[in-house]
Amino acid sequence: MKQLVHKTPNKYVQSFKAYVLDTLSWAYMALIAYKVIYEKIIISERYPEFSWSQPLLSLYIGLAVAAVLFFTKLSLGRGLFGLIKYDENESPSSQPFAYIGYLLIALTFLTGFYVSEISMKEFLSDSGLEGAKRIFKALLHPNWGIFQEGLFAAIETIYMAFIATAIAIPIAFILGFFAARNLMNGTKLSFFLYNLLRAFLNISRSIEPLVWAIIFSVWVGIGPFSGMLALCIHSIASLTKQYSEQIESIDDGPIEAITATGAHPIQIVWFGVVPQIVLPYLSYTIYRWDINVRMATVIGLVGGGGIGNLLMQYQGQARWNEVGMLVILIAVIVWTMDWASSKLREALK
């Protein structure tokens, strides 16, 4: 029997966390007040200088302000950690500390506007609108002359995604068992292997396929092969994770029953685990292929071959009619894959 242990949070630890949170919020507000509100809005400085003493000074200000306001109702940290008492009929969102939170959100919006250089003037300028008109016109008049070329590139993309998925399946299938906590927490060695594999998967998954494609295009040369490898690495990592999570969520009952018949461990996995995971596995795999086709298009942009590569070439030459043709092709592929994969997955339920 597992017993839930309710840890009573230590008041002093909570207060310390609250103070850290308060300090960081006030330091953030101080920094924004100076860099955005003062420099950008009030004096419209074109080339503001940055030095590390600015955030450092903000931190000191944050520490001081947080210390002064810590025991008032304006301490956001104490409010969030439940250290401020207020009438239970009142909503926490109308408490004074909540207004500090709103202020933080408002300042973040303001900064976001300045960082993204949002400008209605640029958006609606005459020359800008002229350019937009030109490109939309070209896109709406695709050059059907390159239809065949685009189609072949698209086929390359689809097959590249298919092979990447197909190669990833058996590898992920086997790794999935080793990445499932419930199968691997038996001995110390197996649990070590589990953690090692998990760490490896997390690292390879956190590197975007786009980056893998750049690495492989240097390694094996520009072309579909490098794109395929990039997708393959990413698919192995993602599928292994999804497969192992599926294994972790299965019912232990059939495993127990098969074990009780005196079956060999391989038979236990085959009869106790596999029948419970086949359908979700298929569903994940089809979805992965669908994602891979879309990703293959993007990967082509950095030299991974296929229709993305072609798109990059025509875009570089500003041949917008050709780009328009390719955009239509990509849209049709993505839509078809999306539709087919959702229908297939629906049928598998």
**Binding positions for other proteins, rule: CB under 8 A:** 1-3, 251, 253-254, 256-264, 266-267, 270-272, 275-276, 278-279
- Nearest to other proteins of 21, 250 (CB atom): 250
In whole angstroms, the minimum distance from the beta carbon of 101 to other proteins comes to: 40
Number of residues in the chain? 349
H or E element that contains 87: none
In whole angstroms, the minimum distance from the beta carbon of 16 to other proteins comes to: 31
- Nearest to other proteins of 55, 254 (CB atom): 254
CA 47, 52, 58: angle at the middle one, nearest 5?
Answer: 100
> Which residue in 214, 213, 204, 211 sits closest to 235, CA to CA?
204
- Nearest to other proteins of 4, 42 (CB atom): 4
In whole angstroms, the minimum distance from the beta carbon of 183 to other proteins comes to: 16
In whole angstroms, the minimum distance from the beta carbon of 259 to other proteins comes to: 6
Dist CA 255 CA 273 (whole Å): 7
> Residue 75 half-sphere exposure, CB side, CA atoms within 13 Å?
26
Dist CA 141 CA 124 (whole Å): 24
- Nearest to other proteins of 223, 254 (CB atom): 254
CA distances from 105 to 4, 78, 102, 112 (A): 36, 18, 5, 10
In whole angstroms, the minimum distance from the beta carbon of 252 to other proteins comes to: 9
- Nearest to other proteins of 182, 204 (CB atom): 182
Q: Which residues of 80-101 are buried (b: 16+ CB within 10 A; e: fewer)?
A: bbebbeeeeeeeeeebebeebb
In whole angstroms, the minimum distance from the beta carbon of 275 to other proteins comes to: 5
- For 57, residues 6+ apart whose C-beta sits below 8 A from its C-beta are 30
- Nearest to other proteins of 41, 278 (CB atom): 278
